[in-house]
Amino acid sequence: MKKGGFAGRVLYVNLTSGEIKKEPLDLDLAQKFIGGLGMNLRLAFDRIKPGVSAFSPDNPIVLGTGPLVGTSLPATSRVYAVTKLPQSRAIGWCGGGGMTFGCLLKNAGYDHVVIEGCSKRPVFLKIIDDDVEISEASSLWGKGVEDTCTSLWDTFGRHAGVISIGQAGESMVSFSMAFIDRTSTLGRGGFGAVMGSKRLKAIMVKGSKGIQVADRKRYKALSDELLNNIREYPYLKEWQDLGLVKSIPFIPKELYSKIKKRRLACVSCPIGDKDIVEIPDGDLKGLISCSTSVVNLLTPIVYGFKDYREAIKCISILDDYGIDMFEFFGVLGFAKELFDQKIISQDILEEEIRLDSLHSMETWARKICFRDGLGDSLADGFEGIIRDFGKGAKRYAPYIIRGMLPYVGPRGPLVWNLFGTMELGQALDPRGPHVGASGSPTYFAKRPLGQFPRHLIRMGAPKEAISRILPGLDSPKGEQELKIGRLLNYSHNWFCTLGCLGICARAQINRFYSASLCAKLYSAVTGIDTTAEDLMKRSDRVWTLLRMANIREGFTRKDDALPEKWFEEPAFKDYLSGNRVIRQDLDQMIEDYYDERGWDVQTGMPTPRKLKELGLKES
Amino acid sequence: MNKFKIEATPERCTGCLICQLVCSEIYTKRFNPSMARIKVDILGVDCLISFTEECNECGVCVDHCLYGALKKIPREKRK
């Protein structure tokens, strides 16, 4: 049978030498690592010299999409990048809803793009099918994300996919992001700064080659059934109309309907969650903002903003600079605390820090992006502040994991105190904390344990794992338990499967997919017959390779340590019992996680037996 | 002539392009938005949905639109 799904080529670009190469995708390797996120990681693993700095020309950016991207399957648009990230100094992934970029990259004939070196002058990468060029970008350098995208769309047409950084990435702000089609983000960890270090302002892609599926008949039957399931979902319309506003109560629905202009979707997504809003009145009347979600636009309210219009304006500014908002507010909160503690003096502070003031936040965003005064320290994140203000500053820092702010927690910006896989995952993903529920049933608070097995099977956990995750489930008298560490193993593998294929991992989307369906879709699209067990084993291989890549960088068990402040009051609560979570509980969860993965429980190293089983010895 | 015409409601469109994907696949056997007979242009807040001259109103785009932005209108009932 013919092969489908994959575009079939990898584009290699060296910004130092200017060399551009197009090479066939190694299909055997792609099959072993599924594609998308997995293949990105495999390509990066081969090319990253251990110990390389995130900002070294030798640090490659490997960007790519999965074999389902570009088809009509629901929400298959994800774009992933793998590189050495500046905040965690780990080899990590960034991923975003691909908007049109992923689909167009595949249509241009590339599954992956490997970018190495560093340009002497600002450039953008132009990809129009086989026409690939490193183009002059001095007129774009210094522009925000909005103007950069608009400028490229004016030149190349609105049907171009664009990944762009703003001024924060140019200044290598450690918490800068890249934006996909102005709306979606490759964020957390400092991906924007890696692009900036290479003087790579943007990547623009247009493609017209098309993507074939191997078995059209089988594809149609599976696709029709999936679409029907989505159509019959009772909450479909509500999710389409409200997006995250449906589940996050701090935004009144009346306010949302007043400012909502249009909801946007990534390619093929049935529950588009991007927003275009317009401020209808007041001094900011007429301001139109486009964001990954209206929830993001209104997040400054959490930090004390009284006027929602000013909150929208604030996030619009941060988005345009290309700054991660959670890290921005976290870093400024820390700096303010140091001022209150007289560790930062008035003459260094220059401008008052007020987390509830548009004027103050706008001033500090500018100072950070242009590394002006104290903004230079702040631009290097928590690490920069501690570096410049000594160890005395450290005790006032919020809880930090791998140099970043975990934003879900009892004292995090989003108040959530039940400890599930997302919380443990913030510590155990090498890239550092991010929001990644991975379809885990603990994403929803207090879900009855009886519902867990169905979800676990859907996520590809083998039946025999259920009794290890849920001891006592079938015993009417036995005490029920939930082993978060063991569950996280399958949550990571499931997330990885979705990332490799190109399916959105959001809970509202991945609920329609199962490991079994993914295997059928992969088989129909690529022509490579695959079972669910096979697919999950490959995901296990990918996630273990991620671990190996970071062990090679020098990371050990101690880097999985959890911040001491997590155990202070108010503490996390056990998902099941509601009891306070103490350090011993979390240490046990980490050991459970290692054990379930087949890693040494003391060191966290994948065992030789596990590596042999996954065929990773030769990697 | 088909029994129906396709009516677009751009206000409901999210730009997900599933219509362009399925249209192109039906006629070229490849998912290729640039070859679709329906074109969706989202320009800021505005959205324009148009059809090329080759469009024969087969309705595959309507069948796949999950946002209600495309509808089949029976010809006899169309004003």
The verdict on residue A34 lying in a domain is yes
- A223 in any annotated domain: no
Compare A350 and A189 and report the one with higher pLDDT: A189
Nearest CA distance, A97 vs chain B (angstrom): 12
DSSP class of residue A302 equals G
Residue A259 has pLDDT above 60, yes or no: yes
Q: Report the CATH number that the domain containing residue A286 is assigned in CATH.
A: 1.10.569.10
Nearest CA in chain A to B39: A159
Using DSSP's 3-state secondary structure scheme, residue A288 falls into strand
Which of A339, A364, A392 terminates a domain? The answer is A392
Same domain for A326 and A423?
A: no
CATH code for position A89: 3.60.9.10
Asked if A231 lies within 8 A of B18 by C-beta distance, the reply is no
pLDDT at A619: 45
Contact by Cβ (8 Å): A519, A536? no
The CA distance from A465 to B21, in Å, is: 39
What does the block give as tokens for A597? 């993965």
pLDDT in tens, B14-58: 999 999 999 999 999 999 999 999 999 998 889 999 999 999 999
Are B16 and A266 an interchain contact pair (Cβ–Cβ within 8 Å)?
A: yes
Residue A118 has pLDDT above 90, yes or no: yes
Question: How many structural domains does chain A have?
Answer: 3
Q: Within a domain: residue A499?
A: yes
As a whole number of angstroms, the longest Cα–Cα distance in chain B is 36
Question: What local confidence, expressed as pLDDT, does residue A411 receive?
Answer: 66
CA distance B57 to chain A (A): 19
| Statement: residue A263 has pLDDT above 70 | yes
Among partner residues A208, A267, A278, which is closest to B17 by beta-carbon distance?
A267
Distances (CA, A) of A477 to A49, A472, A474, A480, A526: 55, 8, 9, 9, 48
- Amino acid in the structure at residue A314: C
Q: Which residue of A has its CA nearest to B40?
A: A159
In the A/B pair of chains, how many CB contacts fall below 8 A?
88
Place of tokens 């599930």: A420
Mean pLDDT of chain A: 93
A553 and A91 in contact (C-beta within 8 Å)?
A: yes
Closest to B4 (Cα-Cα) out of B68, B58, B43, B64: B58
CB-based contact A72 B30, cutoff 8 Å: no
User: Which residue, A340, A360, A392, sits at the end of a domain?
Assistant: A392
pLDDT digits (tens, 9 = 90+) for A316-351: 999 999 999 999 999 999 999 999 999 999 999 889
Between A421 and A600, the more confident residue is A600
Distances in Å between the Cα of A315 and the Cα atoms of A288, A296, B43 are 12, 7, 21
Distance from the Cα of A360 to chain B's closest Cα (Å) equals: 29
Where along chain B do its domains lie? 4-77
My answer on whether A425 and A367 are in the same domain is: no
Could you report the per-residue pLDDT of A463-512, keeping only the tens digit for each? 999 999 999 887 776 678 999 999 999 999 999 999 999 999 988 899 99
Can you say whether the dihedral through the CA atoms of A418, A422, A424, A427 is positive or negative? negative
Q: What is the CATH number of the domain that holds A430?
A: 1.10.599.10
Q: From CA A513, how far away is CA A530, in angstroms rounded?
A: 16
Torsion over CA: A267, A441, A219, A238 (sign) = negative
A413, pLDDT greater than 90: no
Residue A400 belongs to a domain: no
Domain that holds residue A345: 233-392
Residues of B in contact with A128 (CB under 8 A): none
* Residue A225 lies inside a defined structural domain of this protein: no
Are residue A373 and residue A413 in the same domain, yes or no? no
The whole-angstrom separation of Cα A526 and Cα A31 is: 9
Q: Chain A 561-600, CB below 8 Å of chain B: which residues?
A: none
A102-106, A250-254, A538-542, A546-550: lowest mean pLDDT where? A250-254
Contacts of B70 in chain A (CB under 8 A): none
Q: How much is the average pLDDT of A278-294? A: 95
Between CA A474 and CA A418 the distance in angstroms is 24
Task: Kindly report, residue by residue over A559-588, the tens digit of the pLDDT.
Answer: 998 888 888 878 888 988 889 999 999 999
Residue-by-residue DSSP string for A70-94? TSSSTT---EEEEEE-TTT-SEEEE
Together in a domain, A284 and A321 = yes
CB contact under 8 A, A207 and B30: no
pLDDT surpassing 70 at residue A415: no
Residue B78 has pLDDT above 60, yes or no: no
Closest partner residue to A72 among B25, B41, B47, by Cβ? B25
Is A258 in the same domain as A350?
yes
Q: State ipTM.
A: 0.95
Strands (E), A25-167: 61-65, 79-84, 91-96, 112-116, 123-128, 131-136, 161-165
pLDDT of residue A519: 98
Torsion of CA A274, A280, A283, A286, to 10 degrees: 60
- B46-51/B70-74 β-pairing: unpaired
Position A280 pLDDT exceeds 80: yes
A299 and A334 co-located in one domain: yes
DSSP symbol at B53: T
Do the beta carbons of residue A581 and residue A419 sit within 8 Å? yes
Q: Quick check: A71 and B66 CB within 8 A?
A: no
Domain B4-77 indexed as CATH 3.30.70: yes
Chain B neighbors of A159, CB-CB under 8 A: 33-34, 41
> Nearest-CA distance from A219 to chain B in Å?
12
* Residue A578: Cβ within 10 Å count: 10
Distance CA A284, CA A268 (A): 34
Contacts with A216 from chain B: Cβ below 8 Å: 29
B15/A270 Cβ within 8 A:
no
Question: Does the CB of A210 have a partner CB in chain B at under 8 Å?
Answer: yes
In a domain, A478, yes or no: yes
In this complex, the residue of B21, B32, B44 whose CB is nearest that of residue A288 is: B44
Does A151 lie in the same domain as A240?
A: no
Query: Is B66 in contact with A216 (Cβ distance < 8 A)?
Result: no
Put simply, whether A288 touches B (Cβ < 8 Å) is: yes
